[in-house]
Structure 1
Amino acid sequence: MAQDNAQQPARIDLDDAAQVADWSRKLAVSEEQLHEAVGAVGPLATDVEMHLKGSRSTTNSDRTAAAASKG
């Protein structure tokens, strides 16, 4: 029987503070942004990274306006 050497995709465990800090640093986002991204797309690191890259395509003024409308 052949051994399965396929590597599992990296997952972000939000219950592990060290992982949250590490992924936040790797992806250059705040821990809050990381939590929001995982909530939006799930724990797969590749999905989170793509989501964050997409969210960065907005302008700073877009983000400021969105934040102001939230509260």
Structure 2
Amino acid sequence: MSDDLTMRGEPDRSRIALGEEHEVRYWTKKFGVTEEDLRVAIDAVGKAAKNVELWLARRK
């Protein structure tokens, strides 16, 4: 089933969806990282936003 863009709800900010361009833009801006950095972080700790944030913070 395709996404119904007319039905908008609150975004789930607890998980990062790399398959969605707007999600990648949001999270790279929020964390101040490149898309590659975001992908590496997700590979390391999974898609949970809090875990990604903590992992990225430790790398700075």
**Do the structures match in fold with TM over 0.5?**
yes
Match of 2:27 among 23, 26, 29: 23
Amino-acid identity (%): 37
Runs of 4+ in 1 over 6 A off after TM superposition: none
Larger radius of gyration: 1
Higher relative contact order (CA 8 A, sep 6+): 2
TM-score by length of 2: 0.76
Structure 2 unaligned spans of 5+: 1-11
TM-score by length of 1: 0.65
Aligned pair count reads 49
- Indicate yes or no: 2:54 matched with 1:50: yes
Between the aligned partners of 1:49 and 1:19, the Cα distance in structure 2 is: 15
